Structure 1
Amino acid sequence: MSQKNMSSGKGVPGIEGIVRHESDVSTIPNMAYNNGVVLALSHSNWQLLVAELNLNQALRSQFNLSRSHYESRLSGVMPLSIDGTYKLELSLGDYVVCVGNLGSVPTDQLKYPVAINGCFEVSIPEFRLEVDIYYGIGGIRAEKIRG
């Protein structure tokens, strides 16, 4: 992430931040989560996906994303960097952003390329949002830093 984006919130619309694995042990600090992806779906595509997959408690659901959904429903996807950072350029609008784990789909990798760990809703304004994401035993928690 550039210092300009972090300090001003200006630039190409989208979302960026860090994904951290949230520890449930007080003596173990939160650590960068880097074995996955951050992906975004428009709110309308998310509603279609929820209906097609019959998801209960949709944002907290954990599910495997099929190859066809991966290729047809996503507005953006980015593998996490080694330090857990991500950056997605998105148009203005309402989205659902999810954290997925590339390594947790033990079955057919070609059929299910990503296992979704959890999601949150976000509205993308005319500038870049900075949102840190915490992933842990309680699911996904997003914390808006700037924007």
Structure 2
Amino acid sequence: MSRASEDSNRRMLRARDAMDRAYAEPLDVPTLARLAHVSPAHFSRTFTATFGEPPHRYLQRRRVERAMFLLRSSDRSVTEICMSVGFSSLGTFSRVFADIVGEPPSVYRRRGPLAPVPSCFGMRWLRPSGETARSEKPGDPARS
């Protein structure tokens, strides 16, 4: 791997780490590009090439991942959870959640509380996985 490639990957990781830490904050491409020390257009192209999805979609998935946990481990309202993970509209949250998870937040919540399992297993099992999450529901036997 060339030095330039390593530097580019490091810059993209810096921005992705910021999204992981501050997912509930209003993050936009220009802000993330400044963290990576590149132009917004270059940031979008490079992030997509590096991680396989645009920065906005990565941030949405991260927010939905956190919402999935809160829906099944707290009694907070869907609206309160929506706002606490960084969405500003319940309609957008519900649409994005259903697109990523395969069902609306209220239906997902009805599955009940999370069983006590090691956190590393729970995080891996609950993490939305792009295309498969749209076609299969988490917990289906076919999803192994």
What is the TM-score when the length of structure 2 is the normalising length? 0.24
What's the TM-score once normalised by structure 1's chain length?
0.24
Instruction: Determine which structure has the larger strand proportion and give its number.
Output: 1
> Which structure is higher in helix share?
2
Structure with larger RCO (C-alpha < 8 A, sep 6+): 1
Select the structure of larger CA radius of gyration: 2
